[in-house]
Chain A
């Protein structure tokens, strides 16, 4: 512990360590854990504050302190005093090294609690980093430079903290020493902030006047601010309510991570309890199936438990052998969460490549992984002014409200009620990068009211009657590659073999079903989605469907593949080099595109992503259309 007066730090260790280590360990063992985030830029004294917290809680070792002292003299900004910022401030070095400026996690402990601080850069271009840090925080310290008051960045940090559902906000008015601990100025800043906070839905916050540099109101109440009646920062951090405790009062939710099955006599469901408590004998419901049973026992290596609470990782066994697997949610039987497939959500875009509305991404929520598509945003939020702005997509660091739909129903809860069942990430299907984070707000009514109608004559019955296996022969390739010609030849051949077929041609479909669509990336994706759905219906009816579409994007072809049973989607790459297709230019389109009369033309000013592993590939430079068709038909055998 330390006491500070005029920056003379008096340093002493916890007496218990030396006098009674067992007693000390007992105290340490029972400490709780608070995770918090500090928001502010270097100028606000954020690094100085964190350095001060580490220093005051004795997290600085002698070798580090020696380095710090010499660094302070060499390059510090505080004259002969210790520059605490140098302890944590690697940002300048990071910029020089070209390393991503990122969230850094730091650790310290006091006699009451252990703390994990997510130290995030504060500038607008690092919104995604702050959102990342905020996602696991119980509390946010919003730093304000007392000389400057509430700035644009203060609003941004507060908005993001609120967006991520942080309930405890500390408004740390820093550098009070530089305004002579002036209460009037401090009160004015707090009043201004209160007005703003209320406008974004922050009803409560804890203001405090501090100096990270001088140590005022950090560990002890400062004599320089006799008018301040609250707690010092450290004491507030030590006593503020924990989210994990509040989560225990909510109904039981546990996402199943893994089915534990060491032998035939044991079947347990492993997961971390998100909210609520669970006991042997509790009635539970497994979602999405809705089946109910009771808890038989709670199994851990340390023995069976009589109670497990939110935050614990456990293995649950049921009284009945009901179906339950990874992705399912175990919930209180009388208070289950919702199941839906369309939602309104707020999405924070985190990738350099912008959102492509309509494209299929992986969505991970809890332990559920499904395909999802995001509509064009209703609006984006300007994080500085909170204004809503119209937008067609989401760029890096953009925050927008958009509808999202999943390819199958998922178990969820509004983010405001349950972070574990409302927070999700989006993953690009090609690069596997995490491209966005989002929060579900509510399910859309149309999803609740549209149900699948079970029909008695299924797809197998349709196919059996036709004595064939349904397939979708998906021809992809550049304009002019010969897709339609070859597909036509293949259909003729199949027809002669008494196969029931149907050819969906790109140009023809655009005269009817898709005549409302243009050629932007979004429209092209919608074009393929509709064709995929139609082709799937036809395959369900037992047909062999041939489609001839440029279908330039891998993600959309994979989306159609994912709609069908394994093996029914046959990707046929009509491989023609651009020069050859352009030289043929059967429809005169390349000439128009080159002249700038046609926008978004594949191969010219819009990309074509060739299949990486097509099921069948035909080279139209070496083969005639008839040869290519014959080759394809041979590859398809047998057809039953």
Chain B
């Protein structure tokens, strides 16, 4: 009797297959871990792929020091639960120069994330890095390969990407080159939420609504997560019932007002909502085709 696999079962099997191919062919793989919901799914898939062994690679968090407090808390716990080593990298130059999202604009992302990631990969000599990017996130990602090649300087050359047929991935590369691998390329935002629901995966509480101190700036609803948030004259944090659809650096991540405090409610709200996911992130609004440009520079 035929047992038709559900779309989630097939996406899960595909992601596991990809992770195993990397472990079999890479010299020193690593999983980029941002503590967000996509990272939570990635980590869960990695545990499934190699069970009963722990995933045979470390987690790497390229930290900006500006993440939400709740994210730092879950980061430690998730790595411990999975029995994996957690490497946290903070760009020392960004620390020394006190780079922050309030004063430095796009330099913040560039130094902490783009440069930080390159530094970490070079420092530890990782040749393959798993990332949680999805093709449905943004137009320029619709064409992204699952195995994405980077030059020795971490550049992404759109003309020099390899064709990917069937489930055959070519992981061969020269010594200094590296590969970013996206096992959940074919998942949509709804798939991610549904899978978290189905598999009961722990995610940062910020995805659920709760009363939190907020201010509004440039049309974005920001959470005052710690005392580093510089309040402008007359600005007083207001407690609002909010949650986040994506998580990044707290001063750059817009919240939505919401009462959704359970996973089904969050999914319901997402499905009834009428704006696309990345709208909450300042990074996209920076400039036209900004993601394409950041990718060529080495941002994930």
A residues bordering B, Cβ < 8 Å? Answer: 13-14, 17-18, 21-22, 24-25, 28-33, 61-64, 90, 97-100, 102-107, 109, 113-114, 116, 128-129, 131-132, 135-136, 242, 244-245, 248-249, 257-258, 260-262, 266, 268, 270-272, 299-302, 307, 309, 311-313, 315, 326, 350, 362, 364-367, 419-420, 423-425, 427, 432-434, 437
Are A13's CB and B271's CB within 8 A?
yes
Are A312's CB and B5's CB within 8 A?
yes
CB neighbours of B289 from chain A (8 A): 97
Select the residue from B5, B24, B166, B191 with max chain A CB neighbours within 10 A. Answer: B166
B30 interface residue (CB < 8 Å to A): no
CB neighbours of B49 from chain A (8 A): 270, 313
* A-B contact sample (17 more), CB < 8 A, given A266-B52, A437-B165: A13-B271, A29-B194, A99-B159, A105-B135, A105-B186, A109-B7, A114-B7, A128-B163, A129-B163, A244-B4, A270-B20, A309-B2, A326-B24, A367-B21, A420-B167, A425-B165, A434-B162
CB neighbours of B3 from chain A (8 A): 248, 307, 309
Are A107's CB and B165's CB within 8 A?
no
CB distance from B257 to the nearest CB of A (A): 16
Are B166's CB and A135's CB within 8 A?
yes
B residues bordering A, Cβ < 8 Å? Answer: 2-14, 16-17, 20-21, 23-24, 47-54, 135-136, 139, 142-143, 158-159, 161-168, 170, 172-174, 185-186, 188, 190-191, 194, 197-198, 264-265, 267-268, 271-276, 279, 289
Are B20's CB and A257's CB within 8 A?
yes
The residue that A423 contacts in the complex, of B135, B166, B191, with Cβ under 8 A, is: B166
Are A32's CB and B163's CB within 8 A?
no
The residue that B48 contacts in the complex, of A32, A104, A301, with Cβ under 8 A, is: A301
Are B163's CB and A313's CB within 8 A?
no
CB neighbours of B2 from chain A (8 A): 245, 248-249, 309
Are A18's CB and B9's CB within 8 A?
no
Query: In the complex, A270→B273 CA distance in Å?
Result: 40
Query: In the complex, A90→B166 CA distance in Å?
Result: 25
Are A21's CB and B53's CB within 8 A?
no
The residue that B51 contacts in the complex, of A21, A31, A300, A366, with Cβ under 8 A, is: A300
Are A29's CB and B8's CB within 8 A?
yes
Are A113's CB and B20's CB within 8 A?
no
CB distance from A363 to the nearest CB of B (A): 10
Closest chain A residue to B50, Cβ basis: A260
The residue that A242 contacts in the complex, of B4, B13, B20, with Cβ under 8 A, is: B4
CB neighbours of A419 from chain B (8 A): 166
Are B172's CB and A427's CB within 8 A?
yes
The residue that B264 contacts in the complex, of A22, A427, A437, with Cβ under 8 A, is: A22
Are A64's CB and B165's CB within 8 A?
no
Query: In the complex, A419→B271 CA distance in Å?
Result: 36
CB neighbours of B168 from chain A (8 A): 364-366, 423-425
Are B161's CB and A367's CB within 8 A?
no
Known: A63-B279, A107-B188, A425-B168. A432 touches B20 (CB 8 A): no
Are B143's CB and A102's CB within 8 A?
yes
Known: A62-B274, A244-B5, A313-B16. A107 touches B135 (CB 8 A): yes
Query: In the complex, A97→B163 CA distance in Å?
Result: 20
CB neighbours of A61 from chain B (8 A): 273-276
Closest chain B residue to A19, Cβ basis: B268
Query: In the complex, A313→B14 CA distance in Å?
Result: 8
Are A105's CB and B272's CB within 8 A?
no
CB neighbours of B264 from chain A (8 A): 21-22, 25
A-B contacts, CB under 8 A, total:
189
Are B165's CB and A99's CB within 8 A?
no
Grouping DSSP codes into helix (H, G, I), strand (E, B) and loop, the A interface class, with mixed when no group exceeds half, is mixed
Are B174's CB and A301's CB within 8 A?
no
The residue that B136 contacts in the complex, of A25, A107, A132, with Cβ under 8 A, is: A107
The residue that B170 contacts in the complex, of A30, A103, A104, A432, with Cβ under 8 A, is: A432
Closest chain A residue to B1, Cβ basis: A248
CB neighbours of B14 from chain A (8 A): 313
Select the residue from A100, A261, A301 with max chain B CB neighbours within 10 A. Answer: A301
CB distance from A433 to the nearest CB of B (A): 6
Are A432's CB and B143's CB within 8 A?
no
Known: A272-B167, A420-B167. A245 touches B4 (CB 8 A): yes
Are B275's CB and A299's CB within 8 A?
no
Select the residue from A90, A102, A245 with max chain B CB neighbours within 10 A. Answer: A102
Query: In the complex, A312→B276 CA distance in Å?
Result: 32
The residue that B7 contacts in the complex, of A31, A98, A258, with Cβ under 8 A, is: A31
Select the residue from A24, A419, A434 with max chain B CB neighbours within 10 A. Answer: A434
Are A311's CB and B52's CB within 8 A?
no
CB neighbours of A21 from chain B (8 A): 264-265, 267-268
CB neighbours of B17 from chain A (8 A): 257, 271-272, 313
Query: In the complex, A114→B48 CA distance in Å?
Result: 23
Are B16's CB and A272's CB within 8 A?
yes
13 A-B interface contacts by CB (under 8 A): A25-B197, A63-B274, A63-B276, A104-B143, A107-B136, A128-B163, A132-B165, A257-B21, A260-B52, A261-B53, A270-B20, A419-B166, A423-B165
Closest chain A residue to B270, Cβ basis: A17
CB distance from A169 to the nearest CB of B (A): 19
Closest chain A residue to B160, Cβ basis: A433
Query: In the complex, A258→B16 CA distance in Å?
Result: 11
CB neighbours of A312 from chain B (8 A): 5, 9, 13
The residue that A99 contacts in the complex, of B47, B53, B158, with Cβ under 8 A, is: B158
Known: A313-B12, A364-B168. A262 touches B265 (CB 8 A): no
Are A299's CB and B52's CB within 8 A?
yes
Are A28's CB and B194's CB within 8 A?
yes
CB distance from B117 to the nearest CB of A (A): 23
CB neighbours of A258 from chain B (8 A): 20, 23-24, 50
CB neighbours of B158 from chain A (8 A): 99-100
Query: In the complex, A104→B135 CA distance in Å?
Result: 9
